[in-house]
Amino acid sequence: MLDALETFLAVAAAGTFSEVARRQDVAVSSITRKIDALEAEIGSRLFHRSPRRVVLTDAGAQFLPRARNILGELADAKEAIHASDAEPRGLLTVTAPTVFGRQHVVGAVAGFLRRHPEIEVDLHLVDQIIDLSEQRVDVAIRIGVLPDSDLHATTLAQVRLVTCASPAYLARAGRPASPIELLEHECITMATPPAPDFVWRYAGVNRNHPLPVRGRFRTDDKDGMLQAALAGLGVLNIATWVVCNHLRSGELVALFPQEEATPGMPAIHAVRLPGRSHATKARLFIEHLRGEIGEVPWWDRLLQPEEAVS
């Protein structure tokens, strides 16, 4: 039964019996027999079959998350039995958005590897959403609102925005005394309008609607926006985790340091797929990452001099 469930998940992901047979180095008829037996056991067809492709039936789509949970609970139980008796070892695969990964995950991985010398980490920095089941990824760092899924999600931090500019820009253009004066400044904005409409929103300003800021430089790349601000091209409103070190060094200046965090901002999450044999390592890494970031994210604490030096 368990072998049939694993085959069912593999076929659902691959979309063909032949591809699963090729990966497992068995005959296609072997895969077909396992699915036939599972359908007979359940009493319902799980796939619509055609010569080139198979597609989940409504019953198959309903059964898919339950099959994952069954295998997930079993794998977690097995690993829990052995975890207390042995140092975790082997490969852990992690993905993270490019800029966030460079700034905040690589350092955390270094500490994690020092703590667990028998573990290896493959870190992939990509901005695309990776399908954990298809790519064999153990932990994915994702920023934003998570859709409903059977993934286990751990919130690492809330996103907070800060409005800032370089000293050179402020010397040339003057420092805005309030957010409304941003309408008179060069602002570095996204080339593609962001989905959340609160990116340039300030409490009590413009009836709490987003400010229609403008500027001559636009890009969809966070690092590009940061480099533009450092080069003095204009004012930037961006997540604190992107610019914290530059604010601390004085390369950028926070324009409204007393501004309260914008409610309803998205969060940074670590997600994992239940049922992986690497579940213990994944949980250890997520807990380590939470500890590295802190209950109040360290990049927000850096913006508070009295806390940074205490």
- The model's pLDDT over 28-81, given as tens digits with 9 standing for 90+, comes to 888 888 888 888 988 888 888 887 788 888 888 888 877 877 776 676 666 555
Whole-number pLDDT of residue 112: 96
CATH number of 141's domain: 3.40.190.10
Domain encompassing residue 54: 2-83
- Domain boundary residue among 83, 111, 132? 83
Q: What's the pLDDT tens digit per position in 247-271?
A: 999 999 999 876 666 666 789 999 9
**pLDDT score for 229:** 97
242 in the same domain as 166: yes
Let me know whether 13 and 51 are in one domain. Answer: yes
Answer with the residue of higher pLDDT: 275 or 119: 119
Residues 77, 17: one domain? yes
What gap in Å lies between CA 199 and CA 202, rounded to an integer?
Answer: 9
Task: Give the domain-ending residue among 65, 83, 101.
Answer: 83
211 domain-assigned:
yes
d(CA 44, CA 37): 11
Residues 274, 213 share a domain:
no
Contact 255, 165 (CB under 8 A): yes
Q: Look at residue 302 and tell me if it is in a domain.
A: no
Pairing mode of beta strands 187-188, 235-239: parallel
Q: Are residues 150 and 169 in the same domain?
A: no
What is the rounded average pLDDT for all residues in the chain? 85
Do 176 and 152 belong to one domain? no
Q: Which residues contact 165 (CB under 8 A, 6 or more apart)?
A: 175, 229, 232, 234, 235, 236, 252, 253, 255
Lowest mean pLDDT among 114-118, 150-154, 212-216: 150-154
pLDDT of 282-292, one tens digit each? 999 999 999 99
How do residues 201-211 score in pLDDT, each as one tens digit? 888 888 888 89
Band (1; pLDDT cuts 50, 70, 90): confident
Task: Write the pLDDT tens digit of every residue in 152-201.
Answer: 889 999 998 999 999 999 999 999 999 999 999 999 998 887 655 457 88
E-strand ranges in 10-71 read 47-49, 54-56
pLDDT surpassing 50 at residue 308: no
**How many distinct structural domains can be found in the chain?**
3
Confidence of residue 233 (pLDDT cuts 50, 70, 90): very high
**pLDDT at residue 310, as a whole number:** 40
Distance CA 292, CA 243 (A): 18
Do 79 and 98 belong to one domain? no
